[in-house]
Amino acid sequence: MVHAELTTEESGILQALTDQFGDAITGHEKFADQFSIFVERAIIFELARFMKEEETTGFDLLSDICGVDWIKQPERRFEIVYNFYSIKKNLRVLIRTTIPDSDKPSIRSIEPVYSGADWMEREVYDMLGVEFEGHPDLRRILTPDGFEGWPHRKDFPLTYEAPRFSYNKDNPPEIIK
Amino acid sequence: MTTAAKTMTLNMGPQHPATHGVLRVVLELDGETVLSATPYVGYLHTGIEKNAEDKLYYKALPMTDRMDYLAPMSNNLGYVLTVEKLLGIEVPEKVKFARVLLTELTRLNSHLVWLGTHALDIGAMSMLLYTFREREMILGVYEAVSGQRMMSTYFRVGGLAWDLPLDFDERVKEILKVFPVKMHEYEDLLSNNRIWIKRLTDVGNLTAQEATDLSLTGPLLRSTGVKYDVRKARPYSGYEKFDFDIPVGKNGDCYDRYLVRMEEMRQSLRIVKQALDGMPEGPYKAHAPGVVLPPKKDVLSQMEALIFHFKIITEGFKVPAGSYYHPIESPKGELGYYIVSDGSTKPYRMRVRPPSLINLKALNTMVTGRLIADVITCIGSIDIVLGEVDR
């Protein structure tokens, strides 16, 4: 892995975030031309607002939200990667945070700040089972009604028997193990 | 007076010819006015991201074609560039030029299908026949390079599958000769057509602020006047060497999106011409033992090459641990691959940022308060491919 130096703009962003949030910024990484900042999950909503509205940051486009399941590390099992992009500065920053394993993993929704986050969060919820608190309409998006299980978790087997589709919501399809 | 008694819920799709696939939209109507539109997606969900986690890196590649099946080369390009970045491989100049040329032809292919189907939805039936006639030439190029007309899978990690065919130059020159004339014909039929203008102007308006808030990219964002194109913002595969412009619109309505895409097709032709003229000689794949298959003549004569060939096919190649997000400008918008590697021969996680899915979110904003006939126009002008929306 190639570790490169931070550019002036990138260290400026890191400095602004550290000034604002202090210890909640837990580290950063530069791989090739990709700049990531690791943060505590508690601040994610405030951070999204700061990223969008402050003059020093100005990330107007939320490019993507994605979830990774690190099943072998229960204390940081679900990694959520927020991909912020600033059109004006032409700068991309990945904000990465982790959620420990539990029955009901959850994180604050940033939908009130970036409305584009709506479907991205629904997809992470659908695939990984991470709940987004404060999301106005948290439903499954890609899997059929009544689907059980979280497909992108590593303990979800790749070869279930195909679910039987039904148009009857009250009598949802049964997944045969 | 309460409006609650008068509203009607209308289910549009999933089997509706104008939804471009299996998209279901639930419309809340007051007379003919749309109060809200809620898209329901997922009918084509096949779990491509999950499947990729169980496949060797080179075996996950053909699945990417099946997402946006109108732009297979763009999908391949995003994937191979991300894996190459994780591996730290630099590909020869010829590969870069060939990739740029073919992905720009892909943009033409995708935009032609968009133009034909969009016009068909609105009632200009003959456009579809004309655009599909010209699209044949591009599919002919796909067939010549890869043997397949749609699911080409011509790019490989570290280069191309094999060298460009002998009649490649001739075929591309033919496209460069025919297309500018045909583009004029399309614009003669549409640009000043009164029905076309009435159906598209001031329909589905978006402001720049709305577009960026909704994370829109591609022609949808550029039609609102925001000049963001990944090819210029963060050039990949040698795009910095080509001379082209980024067309932007002003009003952010369906007509501006039409103009932006038409101009993009012209710019693509410019890039194709430059890539063909400047195509360097050289190898069609990188020299990276253990990752890229060695040339066949070495496999037949050298022990080491034979071993590498055998090991790559049976075991795959290892990718150093790390994660990388690589965006490219696909015909629909910013197509990004986020690949996490744990140092093994299979991707630990492959996330695709699907431009179609994220752009489709804008439908509600575009059609609220407009007539039901405009819903069809707006779906057409977002330019979705349901294979990519659902993956």
ipTM at complex level:
0.85
**Which residues on chain B are in Cβ contact (under 8 Å) with A94?**
325
A170: pLDDT confidence band, cut at 50, 70 and 90?
Answer: low
Q: Are B24 and B38 in contact (CB under 8 A)?
A: no
In terms of Cα–Cα distance, which of B363, B390, B341 is closest to B37?
B363
With 50 as the cut, is the pLDDT of residue B65 above it? yes
Per-chain mean pLDDT for chain B: 89
With 90 as the cut, is the pLDDT of residue B252 above it? no
pLDDT over 70, % of chain A:
88
B113: pLDDT confidence band, cut at 50, 70 and 90?
Answer: very high
With 90 as the cut, is the pLDDT of residue B77 above it? yes
Decide if A73 is inside a domain. Answer: yes
Q: Are B122 and B355 in contact (CB under 8 A)?
A: no
Specify the amino acid at residue B305: A
Sorted by sequence, the CB contacts under 8 Å of residue B297 that are 6+ apart come out as none
With 90 as the cut, is the pLDDT of residue A148 above it? no
> Hey, where are the domains in chain B?
48-341
With 90 as the cut, is the pLDDT of residue B79 above it? yes
Angle at B351 between CA B383 and CA B57, to 5 degrees: 110
CB contact under 8 A, B88 and A2: yes
A177: pLDDT confidence band, cut at 50, 70 and 90?
Answer: very low
The DSSP call for residue B251 is S
- Which is it for strands B15-16 and B159-160: parallel, antiparallel or unpaired? unpaired
Question: With left for phi above 0 and alpha for psi between -120 and 50, is residue B323 left, alpha or beta?
Answer: beta
The count of domains in chain A is 1
The stretch B220-232 carries a mean pLDDT of: 90
Q: For A107-126, b where at least 16 C-beta lie within 10 A, e where not — what string? A: bbbbbebbbbbbbbbbbbbb
With 50 as the cut, is the pLDDT of residue B237 above it? yes
With 80 as the cut, is the pLDDT of residue A56 above it? no
* Domain at A102, CATH number: 3.30.460.80
Please indicate whether residue A10 or residue B106 has the higher confidence score (pLDDT): B106
pLDDT digits (tens, 9 = 90+) for B193-214: 888 998 888 888 889 888 998 9
A176: pLDDT confidence band, cut at 50, 70 and 90?
Answer: very low
In terms of Cα–Cα distance, which of B368, B275, B382, B356 is closest to B71?
B356
Would you call B323 an interface residue with chain A, using a CB distance cutoff of 8 Å?
Answer: yes
Q: Are B360 and B389 in contact (CB under 8 A)?
A: yes
The stretch B227-239 carries a mean pLDDT of: 90
Specify the amino acid at residue A168: N
| Residue-level pLDDT at A17 | 85
User: Which helix (H) or strand (E) covers residue A69, if one does?
Assistant: strand A61-69
Q: State the nearest Cα–Cα gap between A156 and chain B, in angstroms.
A: 10
B3: pLDDT confidence band, cut at 50, 70 and 90?
Answer: low
A2: pLDDT confidence band, cut at 50, 70 and 90?
Answer: very low
Decide if A164 is inside a domain. Answer: no
Specify the amino acid at residue B349: R
The stretch A161-168 carries a mean pLDDT of: 56
A144: pLDDT confidence band, cut at 50, 70 and 90?
Answer: confident
pLDDT digits (tens, 9 = 90+) for A84-111: 999 888 889 999 999 998 888 999 999 8
Q: Are B285 and B91 in contact (CB under 8 A)?
A: yes
Token pair belonging to B118: 């969009």
Specify the amino acid at residue B122: I
CB contact under 8 A, A92 and B234: yes
The CATH architecture of the domain made up of B48-341 is: Orthogonal Bundle (1.10)
In terms of Cα–Cα distance, which of B160, B142, B183, B141 is closest to B270?
B183
CB contact under 8 A, B215 and A94: no
- Which is it for strands A131-133 and A106-108: parallel, antiparallel or unpaired? parallel
With 50 as the cut, is the pLDDT of residue A1 above it? no
| Residue-level pLDDT at B141 | 93
Q: Are B213 and B207 in contact (CB under 8 A)?
A: no
Decide if A2 is inside a domain. Answer: no
| Residue-level pLDDT at A79 | 92
Decide if A92 is inside a domain. Answer: yes
| Residue-level pLDDT at A165 | 56
Q: Are B267 and B245 in contact (CB under 8 A)?
A: yes
Alpha helices in chain B (DSSP H): 48-52, 57-65, 72-87, 93-122, 126-146, 168-190, 194-200, 208-213, 219-222, 230-233, 254-277, 296-301, 303-315, 355-360, 363-367, 372-382, 386-390
With 70 as the cut, is the pLDDT of residue B91 above it? yes
The stretch A44-69 carries a mean pLDDT of: 87
Decide if A168 is inside a domain. Answer: no
Q: Is the four-CA dihedral B96, B99, B100, B101 of positive or negative sign?
A: positive
The stretch B158-185 carries a mean pLDDT of: 90
Q: How far is CA A33 from CA A6, B71, B324, B338, in A?
A: 9, 27, 9, 14
| Residue-level pLDDT at B104 | 93
The stretch A15-33 carries a mean pLDDT of: 85
Range of A44's domain?
Answer: 8-149
pLDDT digits (tens, 9 = 90+) for A130-139: 999 888 888 8
pLDDT digits (tens, 9 = 90+) for B313-334: 998 899 999 899 999 999 999 9
pLDDT over 70, % of chain B:
99
pTM to 2 decimals?
Answer: 0.89
Token pair belonging to B144: 């010549």
Would you call B320 an interface residue with chain A, using a CB distance cutoff of 8 Å?
Answer: yes
Decide if A13 is inside a domain. Answer: yes
Would you call B88 an interface residue with chain A, using a CB distance cutoff of 8 Å?
Answer: yes
pLDDT digits (tens, 9 = 90+) for B264-279: 999 999 999 999 999 8
CB contact under 8 A, B358 and A116: yes
CB contact under 8 A, A60 and B324: no
| Residue-level pLDDT at B15 | 80
In terms of Cα–Cα distance, which of B207, B205, B249, B244 is closest to B227?
B249
The stretch B349-367 carries a mean pLDDT of: 91
| Residue-level pLDDT at B83 | 92
Quickly count: other Cβ atoms within 10 Å of residue B61's Cβ. 20
Q: How far apart are CA B284 and CA B281, in angstroms?
A: 9
CB contact under 8 A, B215 and A120: yes
The stretch A21-33 carries a mean pLDDT of: 85
Token pair belonging to B138: 């591009």
